[in-house]
Structure 1
């Protein structure tokens, strides 16, 4: 267990594997290989109150998932999922370094980019792709909203102002 703690460091919204670069093995050896990472409790922080926004509907309305998708791409990782009810951010990496959301996640373009790796900006290439991406985000937001509302209804929770889905 002690060796693991020296190799893997979890911080809020961040994971670092091989914090001591001199002990990092070549790609494909040890823990330095492709992996799926899940960081828990990754919620948006309100700029004014400095409090975490945990309401899944508000997170969807704020486009938090979309922001995490952009951050993931800039890290050179592959976005897999964001579960707003638990704040679980899931992404795939090809090798290990430092990945996550910096403390100041309100920065629009903030991302922890692994050392020696250039950020992937290919998702910003064309207006056509941007239009398609925006429409996909709208559809995904509606799907997420419907899932959250369905879960709340099944659990018998009060729907309040969120009863109607776009």
Structure 2
């Protein structure tokens, strides 16, 4: 099966813009902290993973050794969105992207449990056909996106 979007000539017709670099922070539901401390929750709470390989929590332990417990249980999902929903429902602590969960943190739906962070090297990038950049509707979308992710200017290749 030939995938037409992989044709080299198509790549010359698209442009990209890096929106932000992925920065993971540990969060949980405020209810999970009732009667305990963030440190204790990290040591004893369930670690919610947003990928089957549990790479994010392994990285966390490399950067912040001893901050989690040796026997933490894990709840594993295959998407970040599912992990965020589980954590909002009090199912544990997750490492989530700081930009994607900004609103939940500002409204108190999620609480940060440690000042640490992991810069993964991952990037959130917008890829779009060059021809739509001139569209007023698309330009409005880019303006909206810029407002939603302040400090991350439009970049285009």
TM-score, normalization by structure 2: 0.23
Q: Which has the higher contact order (CA 8 A, sep 6+)?
A: 2
The structure that has the greater radius of gyration is 2
As a proportion of its length, which structure holds more strand? 2
